[in-house]
Every structure is written in structure tokens, then in C-alpha cells.
Structure 1
Amino acid sequence: MLVRHGESEFNKQDRFTGLKDPPLTSNGVREAIEVGRTLQASGFHYDVAFTSELKRAQQSLQLILRELHARSVPVFNEAALNERNYGELAGMTRDAARARWGEERVAQWRRSYDVAPPGGESLAMTAGRTLPFFDERIRPLLSLGKRVLVVAHGNSLRSIVMSLDQLTPQQIVNVSFATGTILLYRFDVLGVIVERKEIPVTR
């Protein structure tokens, strides 16, 4: 299960967040609780959970686990799952970034696969850390039949989904996840995806 964290203070302010570490807003807390309640109502249980080293993802995960009555589930905070580094854009509002660099350039940094903002990461560079982590830490657990919950960020999840869904760099440009999005993947014993769906969150 892949989940994007709830709304953060920078999301609310329309700022590039990246490795900045703002907390959840009150709405973000509510979104995470609603994710947990949706998963609980659907009967989901987990053997292990992974999140990033950033508080908005960690806070979301803890709220989800609380709603699942699953606080004993082992949790691992992993730098490999951190949000994409936005470099000089981090902390800036999108309007300020567009005023400085131009709308076309900022749009290219946001959505292209292999173009990085100044001092930051492209999505390809983000995938360079998320995919080895997925293959080395998560796939072995799935092959053992373990149920894995990952709570992370828009771009770290995009890079994983691009690989799982076998999307091209051109296709991933149009993929984004709202805060509180839930994606379910089921694998067979050979590691082949047999089910993929987005689970609507009960509001």
C-alpha cells in the first residue's frame, strides 16, 4: 500500500517543499485520519511500515496506524523515501519561482523526468534512490507474503509508481497524487503485480 502524506503547511501555502520539514496542517491531520479509517473499514492489516525522515510523512503514518489500532507494527524511517530535493526552489511559492525563472522553466522542473531544478534532483535522480530501496527492502518482504504500508511523498511515490506501472518518462509527466491518496498493489509469489487500484478515501 502506497499513501501520500496529508496536507502540510507548505502544501497549503503553495510552496515547493522538497527536503524542508513543515508539519501537517489541521486539514492534513484530518486527511491522514481519514486514510486510517478507510483502511480500517476495509479490513486492511500490515506487518511492517516504511516512511521517510520527514515529519509530515511520519506524522501521517502514526495517525494512520492509530486508526488501525496497529501501533505495534514495526516502523522504519528511511532517507531513500524522502521527497525529491527541490534545491533553490525549496520554500519558495510557485508564484515567486515563476516570477524568477519563468512559467515554462518552472513547469519543466516540476513535471519532467530528467531535468533538475538548480541545486536539486530530477525525478530520475529521485528514482535512483527509491527504486534500489524498493527492490532491496520491500520486494523481499512481499515475496514472503508480508503486507507492507509505505507513507511517503508525491515525487518519491511517483518514481516508484512509474516503475511498478511501467510508465514512460512522457507518461509520468501527467501523473500526480493528491495528499491522502491510497494506492493498492498486490503481488503474486513470483513478484508479478496481480492487482492495482486507487482506494477512495471516506470523507
Structure 2
Amino acid sequence: MSKYKLFLLRHGEGAWNKENRFCSWVDQKLSENGVVEAQECGRLLKENGYQLDQVFTSILSRSIHTAWLVLEAMGHEWVPVTKSWRLNERHYGALIGLNRAEMALNHGEEQVKLWRRSYDITPPPIHESHPYYAEIYNDRRYSTCDVPKEELPKTESLKEVLDRLLPYWNDVIVPVIKSGQTVLISAHGNSCRALLKHLEAISETDIVNVTLPTGVPVLLELDEDLRPVKPRQLLGDQAKIQAAIKKVEDQGKVNAQNK
């Protein structure tokens, strides 16, 4: 029997999602379409009678703005929003800023899929000579983290995302859920996938095939041990959701278009 409801949300489309580039820890804003996706998500939740008690986001603007727009559309502007770097997108290291389709052309689609979707394969690390290194590590937001700046990752596998996310999940988010509050986590494709792997006990092999489109809320109904009592539900028009999933999956292919 369901005792708790948890919503996971990959932020609305960002500027670099639109350009098919690895965004990662670079702080990109939502695209015009991303703003619409977040607003539609909020309206959908409201129309279905859902109410939120607390929201958690990463410290990246696209995650935060998505949460704000969802809450505004629901008339929930007063709901507390808590931010943590531990919900950040996966750190893609030296791949940051690169176009996925061009990478597939240069390195092969299978290699790009492994970098993007596998559980324990880590991309090459970012170095100080990288064009976005200073933009990331000189950003004042990273002086607010609960680890020294020099200990922040320079690249991550999905496993490492889960490793840095789990302490925050267990220590901060779980007590809120177990107090009976309905939580929305407005985060990123990989931080949401990592959490799904943990909650649903998805195998290292099967997690490769879990795809979350932008702006689509995922409802998890959990028992008292925070284990799912039914399959996850991607809320909204199912035909549109499947088309959006295919679009995400095609981003790492040579013929992917920058739409």
C-alpha cells in the first residue's frame, strides 16, 4: 500500500539541451521551450490535484528556475525550496560543451552512449586548460558546498553521482518524506536516474536504458521503507512523452539534429 508520494523532475529544456551539447556543471538557463515545459508541468500537477510540501533542487539555475515555474503554476510559491550541489547534474569532465552528435561521429555512437548512459564508466576529467574550467570552479556557488572546492569532482560516472547524492538523500530528504510531506526533486537527467536506480533497485545493466525527458514529472508511490509499490508513472500525454524519450536517446547518434 502506498504511504508516500515523491515526484522526480528533470528540469525543462536548457539552452545546451537544444544545441545537443554536454552541459553538466556549466550554468545554463532554460530555453523558451524549457520555460513552457516547466509551466505545463506545474499546471498538470495542479489539474491532477497534487500538492507539494517541499522542493529540493541542485544549485544550477535550470533546476532552480524549473522549480520556481512549477510552483508558480501550482499557486505554491510559498513552498520551501532547498538547494544542494549534491543534486547537480553528472560532471561530464572534458566532454563539457561538446556536441553529442559530433562526438558520435568522432568516437562512435557506442562510446558516446557508454559515456552518457553507463553506470560505472567515467569520461576523461576536465583540466585547467578546458574552456569552461574557470567558469565552473571560480563560480562562488561552489564555495558554499559541504566539501572543499578542491575536493569537488573533475569528472563522474553515474555510480559516483549516486555516491555523492545518497548522503543528502538519506540525511536530508528522507526525513522530510517520512514526516508525511510530499516532495518534488527538481534536478537533472542523471541525478534523477541515479536516484531511480537506488529506489527501484535497477541493475547496472538496465539503468543504461532508463531515459527521462525534460519537464516530465515522474511520480513514485512508496511504502514505509521508501520502496516503490507500483511502477513509476511519467505523467502527461504518453505519446508526447515517448517521442521526447526517443529524442533524448537519439542525441548521441551521428545524424542527430540540433533542434
CA drift of 1:195 comes to 3.9
| Alignment size in residue pairs | 203
Residue in 2 aligned with 1:156?
A: 191
1:130 is the counterpart of 2:165: yes
CA drift of 1:102 comes to 3.7
Per the alignment, in what secondary structure is the counterpart of residue 150 of structure 1?
strand
Taking the aligned partners of 1:136 and 1:20, their CA distance within structure 2 comes to 27
Residue in 1 aligned with 2:221?
A: 186
Per the alignment, in what secondary structure is the counterpart of residue 119 of structure 2?
coil
What are the equivalent positions in structure 2 for 1:68-107 lying under 5 Å apart?
Answer: 68-107=74-113
Alignment partner of 2:232 out of 178, 197, 203: 197
- For 2:164, the aligned partner's letter is R
Residue in 2 aligned with 1:28?
A: 34
Per the alignment, in what secondary structure is the counterpart of residue 186 of structure 2?
strand
- The Cα offsets for residues 103-149 of structure 1, whole Å up to 9 and x where unpaired, read as 33222111211010001110001011112211111111111111111
Per the alignment, in what secondary structure is the counterpart of residue 205 of structure 2?
helix
CA drift of 1:193 comes to 2.9
CA drift of 1:190 comes to 4.1
Taking the aligned partners of 1:73 and 1:56, their CA distance within structure 2 comes to 18
Taking the aligned partners of 2:174 and 2:92, their CA distance within structure 1 comes to 28
8 Å CA contact retained: 1:3, 1:180: yes
Per the alignment, in what secondary structure is the counterpart of residue 215 of structure 2?
coil
Taking the aligned partners of 1:181 and 1:131, their CA distance within structure 2 comes to 23
8 Å CA contact retained: 2:200, 2:227: no
- For 2:96, the aligned partner's letter is A
Alignment partner of 1:9 out of 15, 23, 45: 15
CA drift of 1:4 comes to 0.8
- The Cα offsets for residues 138-182 of structure 1, whole Å up to 9 and x where unpaired, read as 111111111111100000000000111110000001111000121
Taking the aligned partners of 2:34 and 2:77, their CA distance within structure 1 comes to 20
Taking the aligned partners of 2:191 and 2:181, their CA distance within structure 1 comes to 22
TM-score (norm 1): 0.94
Per the alignment, in what secondary structure is the counterpart of residue 169 of structure 1?
coil
1:38 is the counterpart of 2:44: yes
Taking the aligned partners of 2:62 and 2:33, their CA distance within structure 1 comes to 12
Root-mean-square deviation (Å): 1.6
Per the alignment, in what secondary structure is the counterpart of residue 43 of structure 2?
helix
Identity of aligned residues (%): 39
1:170 is the counterpart of 2:205: yes
TM-score (norm 2): 0.74
User: Radius of gyration: which is bigger?
Assistant: 2
Taking the aligned partners of 1:199 and 1:111, their CA distance within structure 2 comes to 19
CA drift of 1:22 comes to 1.1
CA drift of 1:199 comes to 3.7
